[in-house]
């Protein structure tokens, strides 16, 4: 099996640790000099970048959270002047403000190369035709993979999301060999193929490269059976870069996705105490970027619950393996590949109605598609005699929420007092997607 960057992906682990330390020292110096947020944090601890003499010293530094990044909107976390930034992405759904990520030319080159590693590890080569059904938008979703495919010299079809019927036509006529999508959309495609009488065995698909939402081994088996191709997992973290952070090797002889540790330094912590956990233990993934120029991150809490494995992999890569994402440990809920902060829903409702009604998010799965239902308690101002006016108001709320969180919700009014959140009898989020974590 081919390896995209043998020097890096098969590096001796002691050599890797030395490289990580040098890159970490450079990153700490850069953020201390250029990002007020970090200067303040380091100064408060009496910590200077040169105090970092070993990788263990990193644990002395505080975490960076999504709230910190949102508060820095739009450019406060940028470590380079805007004229050096050649790309800007942002995430939706964070509280208050989106999170803005910048990329220098060098950042983009790294991004393409790291996506190239993931694609090569998954078995993609220059003879492949890769159909990318992820979103081409402010989100990072499709971009890293897109440039990785081009870098490998394979053909990329930027079909973007939706238009399922047309996706299948393209897949058949253009002889797509690799599908890049969310796991649930892969199953939507399988459903549509059945409805259209298209036999996946008559297509040329050999691989579905999937990410963007929690999924299970059972889903993998179903996708592999129904699309008649292999299904592999990869890890995208938009705040750190986007897709290309970690990915499974083709035969996945051992569980987990190889993490590009020469660019991203991982730690796994107990989410309750912040203490470091030993290798193999389940905890929250914390990432420090080692090469990002525009928006470097020090100890970023991802909210993703994972395990890290360091045993050598038969594929020959020495990079650690990140387990399938086992769940989330912050307040973020992922629907259709979009991170949603439930408190953001409250803010939007407050903006519409002047004060915040009691509300609840219910996330479920119908067929293979996730849905989001927002339940709102009926109150004086939400209760109209005329049903038509109430319907208009619900449509307006749904529209405003879709604009603000990036996912179209169903909005449902419920009886006064039924949510009763003040007494904590009703959780803010109910996730009905059994077994997704
Ligand atoms: Zn491997």
Q: Is residue 210 located within the same domain as residue 345?
A: no
| Alpha carbon of 249 to ligand 1 centroid (Å) | 5
The pLDDT assigned to 383 comes to 58
Q: Is residue 214 located within the same domain as residue 361?
A: no
Q: End of a domain among 238, 256, 274?
A: 256
| Alpha carbon of 213 to ligand 1 centroid (Å) | 22
In a domain, 198, yes or no: yes
| pLDDT tops 90 at residue 385 | no
In a domain, 262, yes or no: no
| Alpha carbon of 190 to ligand 1 centroid (Å) | 28
Report the C-alpha gap between 24 and 32 in whole angstroms.
Answer: 12
Whether residue 240 contacts residue 322, with contact meaning beta carbons closer than 8 Å, is answered with no
| Alpha carbon of 123 to ligand 1 centroid (Å) | 12
Q: Is residue 215 located within the same domain as residue 360?
A: no
Can you tell me the mean pLDDT for 55-72? 93
> Which of 319-338 are b and which e, b meaning 16 or more Cβ less than 10 Å from the residue's Cβ?
bbbbbbbeebbbbbbbbbbb
Report the C-alpha gap between 388 and 248 in whole angstroms.
Answer: 52
Q: Is residue 107 located within the same domain as residue 210?
A: yes
| pLDDT tops 80 at residue 287 | yes
Q: How far is the CA of 427 from the CAs of 61, 359, 360, 362, 398, in angstroms?
A: 33, 10, 7, 10, 21
Cβ neighbours of residue 29 closer than 8 Å, sequence gap 6 or more: 49, 50
CATH of the domain at 386: 3.30.300.30
| Alpha carbon of 248 to ligand 1 centroid (Å) | 7
| Alpha carbon of 116 to ligand 1 centroid (Å) | 15
In a domain, 92, yes or no: yes
Can you tell me the mean pLDDT for 19-37? 98
Q: Is residue 213 located within the same domain as residue 342?
A: no
Report the C-alpha gap between 407 and 339 in whole angstroms.
Answer: 9
Quickly state the pLDDT bin for 210 (edges 50, 70, 90): very high
| Alpha carbon of 381 to ligand 1 centroid (Å) | 58
Q: Is residue 248 located within the same domain as residue 363?
A: no
Specify which residues 372 forms β-bridges with: 363
Neighbours of ion ligand 1 (CB under 5 A): 249, 313, 315, 317
In a domain, 295, yes or no: no
Q: Is residue 361 located within the same domain as residue 249?
A: no
Q: Is residue 224 located within the same domain as residue 83?
A: yes
| Alpha carbon of 11 to ligand 1 centroid (Å) | 13
| Alpha carbon of 117 to ligand 1 centroid (Å) | 12
In a domain, 250, yes or no: yes
In a domain, 299, yes or no: no
**Percent residues over pLDDT 90 in the chain:** 66
The pLDDT assigned to 76 comes to 97
Q: Is residue 395 located within the same domain as residue 248?
A: no
Which residue range(s) make up the domain with 426? 338-431
Q: Is residue 371 located within the same domain as residue 247?
A: no
Whether residue 131 contacts residue 159, with contact meaning beta carbons closer than 8 Å, is answered with yes
Quickly state the pLDDT bin for 423 (edges 50, 70, 90): very low
In a domain, 414, yes or no: yes
Query: Average model confidence (pLDDT) for the chain?
Result: 90
Classify residue 101 by its DSSP letter: E
Q: End of a domain among 205, 230, 256?
A: 256
| Alpha carbon of 120 to ligand 1 centroid (Å) | 11
In a domain, 28, yes or no: no
| Alpha carbon of 56 to ligand 1 centroid (Å) | 26
Query: What does the pLDDT look like over 215-257, one tens digit per residue?
Result: 888 899 999 999 999 999 999 999 999 999 999 999 777 889 9
Query: What does the pLDDT look like over 332-370, one tens digit per residue?
Result: 788 887 878 787 788 888 888 777 788 888 888 888 888
Report the C-alpha gap between 38 and 406 in whole angstroms.
Answer: 30
Quickly state the pLDDT bin for 196 (edges 50, 70, 90): very high
The pLDDT assigned to 368 comes to 82
| pLDDT tops 80 at residue 317 | yes
Residue 316's nearest CA partner among 20, 114, 117 is 117
Q: Are strands 359-366 and 429-431 parallel, antiparallel or unpaired?
A: parallel
Question: What is the end-to-end Cα distance of the chain in Å, rounded?
Answer: 30
Q: End of a domain among 196, 223, 256?
A: 256
| Alpha carbon of 312 to ligand 1 centroid (Å) | 8
Q: Is residue 115 located within the same domain as residue 236?
A: yes
Burial tier of 12 (Cβ tally within 10 Å: 0-12, 13-18, 19+): exposed
| pLDDT tops 50 at residue 435 | no
CATH of the domain at 138: 3.40.50.12780
Query: What does the pLDDT look like over 83-112, one tens digit per residue?
Result: 999 999 998 655 568 899 999 999 999 999
| Alpha carbon of 142 to ligand 1 centroid (Å) | 24
Q: Is residue 94 located within the same domain as residue 228?
A: yes
| Alpha carbon of 115 to ligand 1 centroid (Å) | 16
Query: What does the pLDDT look like over 152-190, one tens digit per residue?
Result: 999 999 999 999 999 999 999 999 999 999 998 999 999
Structural domains counted in the chain: 2
Q: How far is the CA of 381 from the CAs of 132, 355, 401, 402, 424, in angstroms?
A: 45, 10, 18, 22, 24
């Amino acid at each position: 099996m081919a390896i995209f960057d043998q020097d890096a992906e098969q590096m001796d682990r002691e050599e890797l640790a030395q490289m990580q330390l040098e890159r970490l020292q450079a990153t700490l110096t850069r953020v201390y000099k250029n990002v007020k947020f970090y200067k303040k944090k380091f100064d408060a601890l009496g910590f200077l970048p040169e105090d970092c003499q070993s990788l263990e010293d990193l644990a002395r530094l505080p975490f960076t959270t999504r709230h910190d990044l949102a508060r820095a909107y739009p450019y406060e976390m940028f470590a380079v002047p805007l004229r050096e930034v050649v790309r800007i992405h942002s995430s939706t759904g964070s509280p208050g403000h989106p999170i803005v990520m910048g990329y220098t030319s060098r950042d983009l080159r790294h991004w393409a190369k790291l996506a190239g590693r993931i694609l090569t590890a998954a078995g993609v080569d220059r003879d492949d035709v890769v159909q990318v059904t992820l979103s081409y938008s402010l989100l990072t979703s499709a971009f890293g993979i897109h440039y990785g495919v081009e870098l490998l010299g394979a053909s990329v079809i930027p079909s973007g999301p939706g238009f399922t019927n047309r996706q299948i036509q393209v897949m058949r006529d253009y002889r797509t060999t690799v599908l890049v999508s969310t796991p649930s959309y892969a199953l939507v495609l399988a459903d549509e193929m059945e409805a259209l009488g298209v036999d996946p065995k008559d297509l040329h698909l050999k691989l579905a490269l999937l990410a963007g939402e929690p999924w299970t081994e059972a889903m993998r088996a179903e996708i592999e059976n129904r699309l008649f191709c292999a299904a592999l997992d990869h890890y995208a973290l938009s705040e750190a870069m986007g897709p290309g952070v970690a990915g499974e090797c083709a035969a996945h002889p051992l569980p987990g996705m190889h993490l590009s540790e020469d660019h991203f330094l991982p730690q796994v912590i107990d989410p309750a105490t912040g203490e470091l956990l030993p290798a193999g233990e389940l905890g929250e993934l914390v990432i420090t970027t080692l090469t990002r120029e525009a928006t470097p991150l020090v100890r970023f809490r991802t909210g993703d619950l994972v395990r890290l494995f360091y045993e050598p992999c038969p594929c020959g890569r020495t990079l650690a393996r990140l387990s399938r994402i086992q769940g989330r440990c912050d307040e973020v809920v992922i629907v259709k590949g979009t991170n949603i902060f439930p408190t953001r829903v409250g803010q939007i409702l407050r903006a519409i109605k002047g004060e915040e009604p009691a509300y609840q998010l219910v996330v479920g799965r119908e067929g293979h598609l996730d849905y989001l239902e927002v339940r709102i308690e009926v109150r004086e101002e939400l209760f109209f005699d005329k049903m038509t006016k109430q319907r208009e108001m619900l449509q307006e709320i749904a529209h405003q929420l879709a604009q603000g969180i990036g996912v179209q919700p169903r909005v449902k009014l419920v009886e006064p007092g039924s949510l009763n959140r003040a007494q904590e009898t009703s959780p803010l989020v109910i996730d009905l997607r059994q077994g997704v974590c």
